[in-house]
Amino acid sequence: MSVRVRFAPSPTGYLHIGSARTALFNYLYARHTGGKFLLRIEDTDLARSTEESTRSILDGLAWLELNHDEEIVFQSDNADKHRETARKLLAEGKAYRDFTPKAEPNEANVKDTIKDRARANQGEKNMRDNPFRDLSVEESDARAEAGEPFAIRLKVAEHGRTAFDDAVYGIQERNYHDTEDLVLLRSDGHPLYNLAVVCDDIEMAITHVIRGQDHLTNTHKQVLIYEALGITPPTFAHLPLIMAPNKGKLSKRKHGEVVSMTTYRDAGFLAAAFRNFLALLGWSASEEQEIYSLEELVQKFSLEGIHRSNAVFNFTENDPRKWTDDKAQWMNAEYIRTMPVEDLLRFVKPELKAAKLWRDEYEDDDREWFEKTINLIRQRFFTLKDFSKQGRAYFSEDYDFDPAAIEKNLSKFPDLKTWLPELADRFEAEFADKPYDEENIEIVVKAFTEEKDTKLGVIMNGARTLLTGVAVGPSMLSVFEIIGLDRTIMRLRSQVAWT
């Protein structure tokens, strides 16, 4: 039977880094096995689901290039089928009506309330003590017909255990004793998560459920539903969780945008690099290679390579340099400086366009210059943003001067205020009749340096500041050449940086 997996996010926010990795693993497994990667939006929680969130998640997946097969399934569209299934189980005596009035959840802190309640039970709670569990069919029917509201709960047997062989965690067993008679259908008629998931997974013919480890207990409940339905459950593979630096939960509320996929897109990350980084969080091919193309990931991915322990997404709040995981930043830089230039150009173009630095000539008349420039400046860049920020001076006359660069390379050497314009004159004279290339530039600048009885670095770094606005970059000889004679002369004469 061919593999069918699904990524099933609930649209209650943007695409979280953990969800993105789950999607990636599902995608890789599907492609590796030649199966299908399906998408299902779990929007059964009407109160929290939003269309905007769905769009944001879809955007995130599109950015990561995790294209799904077949039509997107919206879980809410299947509510009738879910209800039908619940009624079927009720009719078969595998579920029962619970007429207990619905308890309103404490809005403020649902999680804590639940935890406190569970703790208060001291683990002594009998999961089978629901008074309506053994209500006679006649009475149950009568009360329902009389219009009394009820929820439908699964009737979990007194003795026995659920068991499944997790592809990552191995054999998982749980006594029925520890599982409550879970609610399948709310008293307002809305199907609940566990029921909906099972129905849809069956409907979609899912063969492998790959999802976060936080679903481990849900899986036992779902196995129960499969058993009640008489259907063989799919294979489960639970993924270790991605934690915050303090090993606590990585949450949208506490950690903000670092966990959102769109943040990385907007910060100038390459999808390929981030995908690569994500793939290595909780999975490895048991080898030392770390840079993988998508094709390699697809080829090497296996459920066996998934780890059992949680991974930390490492970043330091309030440290701009380490706002996100170091390795993710390094990997992005690695991609930027090593990928084929032609590929990189496709990503640089929209970046420059967005910054209003793009000129169509870069694709025809100036293509050679453009490619050479990108190739030169990418060596020290970390993100696509750097092309429009640090690299701005290569594409525009309207660029800023980094105060630190001025301080370091200009202010300390007041002579440069007259020397640099002088160098401009020298360039103008010297290059009137010879090629403005690195070799000749070096000769001229060195001669100039000797005349002024100063160090080469003083002239070079002063020029760098004037020509590029920043203190870092490629070899100055290359910079002179790539900026071109006219712009070099103009910028060396300019006094704006000095004011």
Q: List residues with catalytic annotation.
A: 252
Q: State which residue, 59 or 180, has the beta carbon closest to RNA.
A: 180
Q: Restricting to residues 421-450, which ones interact with RNA according to CB under 7 A?
A: none
Show the binding pattern over residues 118-147: x = contacts RNA (CB under 7 A), - = does not.
xx-xxx------------------------
With tokens 């002369």, the residue in question is 489
Nearer to RNA, 118 or 429 (CB): 118
Among 87, 133, 252, 337, binds RNA (CB under 7 A): 337
When asked if residue 308 is in the footprint of RNA (CB under 7 A), the reply is yes
Radius of gyration, alpha carbons of the chain: 31
Asked whether position 325 contacts RNA by CB under 7 A, the answer is yes
CB of 363 to RNA, least distance (A): 27
Contact 491, 467 (CB under 8 A): yes
Of the candidates 64, 73, 2, the one whose C-alpha atom is nearest the C-alpha of residue 36 is 2
Pairing assessment for the beta strands 151-154 and 36-41 based on DSSP bridges: unpaired
Closest CA to 98 of 134, 127, 125: 134
Query: Judged by CB under 7 A, which of 22, 24, 33, 42 binds RNA?
Result: 42
Rounded to 5°, the CA angle 262-244-266 comes to: 15
Residues from 405 through 424 that contact RNA (CB under 7 A): 408
Helix (H), strand (E) at residue 175: strand 170-175
Note the residue count of the chain: 499
Tokens matching residue 347: 């990503």
Q: Which is nearer to RNA, 138 or 188 (CB)?
A: 188
Give the number of other CB atoms < 10 A from CB of residue 428.
15
Site for RNA in 199-258 (CB under 7 A): 213-218, 240-241, 243, 245, 247-249
Q: Does 309 bind RNA (CB under 7 A)?
A: yes
Output 226 or 366, the one with its CB closest to RNA.
226
* Under rule CB under 7 A, residue 180 binds RNA: yes
d(CA 119, CA 3): 41
Cβ of residue 243: shortest distance to RNA, in angstroms?
Answer: 6
Least distance in angstroms from the C-beta of 263 to RNA: 18
Work out how close the CB of 291 gets to RNA at its nearest, in angstroms, rounded to a whole number.
Answer: 9
CA distance 448 to 450: 5
| Amino acid code (one letter) for 242 | I
Indicate whether 188 belongs to the interface with RNA (CB under 7 A).
yes
Select the residue interacting with RNA from 2, 50, 293, 379 (CB under 7 A): 379
- Find the shortest distance in angstroms from Cβ 1 to RNA: 26
Classify residue 136 by burial, with Cβ atoms within 10 Å: 0-12, 13-18, 19+: exposed
Q: Is 58 in the site for RNA (CB under 7 A)?
A: no
Tokens of 392: 């701005």
- Considering only residues 265-294, where is the footprint of RNA by CB under 7 A? 280-284, 286-288, 290
Q: Is 326 a binder of RNA (CB under 7 A)?
A: yes
Q: Does 22 bind RNA (CB under 7 A)?
A: no
Residue 2 engages RNA in binding (rule: CB under 7 A): no
Contact 268, 351 (CB under 8 A): yes
Q: Does 98 bind RNA (CB under 7 A)?
A: yes
Contact partners, residue 122, CB within 8 Å, separation at least 6: none
Nearer to RNA, 307 or 356 (CB): 307
Q: Within 191-340, where are the H helices?
A: 193-203, 216-229, 252-255, 261-266, 271-279, 294-300, 326-338
What's the CA gap between 202 and 490, in Å, rounded? 70
Least distance between RNA and beta carbon 78 (Å): 12
Nearest Cα to 341, choosing from 313, 310, 392, 377?
377
Could you say which residues in the range 102-121 bind RNA, by CB under 7 A?
102-103, 105, 110-111, 114-115, 117-119, 121
Positions in 147-166 near RNA (CB under 7 A): 149-151
Rounded to the nearest angstrom, the gap between the alpha carbon of residue 422 and the centroid of all alpha carbons in its chain is: 51
Q: How far is CA 142 from CA 76, 136, 139, 155, 157, in A?
A: 30, 10, 5, 20, 25
Give, as ranges, the residues between 458 and 497 that touch RNA (CB under 7 A): 460-461, 464, 470-478
Candidate list 390, 391, 406, 481; residue touching RNA; CB under 7 A: 390
Nearer to RNA, 310 or 396 (CB): 310
Do residues 123 and 115 lie in contact, with contact meaning Cβ atoms separated by under 8 Å?
no
The residue (of 234 and 240) whose beta carbon lies closer to RNA is: 240
Interface residue with RNA among 190, 252, 417, 493 (CB under 7 A) is 190
Cβ nearer to RNA, comparing 183 with 273 = 183
User: Binding residues for RNA, how many (CB under 7 A)?
Assistant: 100
**Nearer CB in complex with RNA: 35/191:** 191
Say if residues 190 and 72 touch (Cβ distance below 8 Å): no
Q: Which listed range, 39-47, 66-74, 410-418, 423-431, lies at the site for RNA (CB under 7 A)?
A: 39-47
Considering only the stretches 259-267, 357-365, 416-424, 454-462, report the one whose residues sit in contact with RNA under the rule CB under 7 A: 454-462
Q: State the Cα–Cα distance between residues 88 and 81, nearest whole angstrom.
A: 10
Tell me how far, at minimum, the Cβ of 124 lies from RNA, in Å: 7
* Backbone φ and ψ of 41, nearest 5°: -95, 115
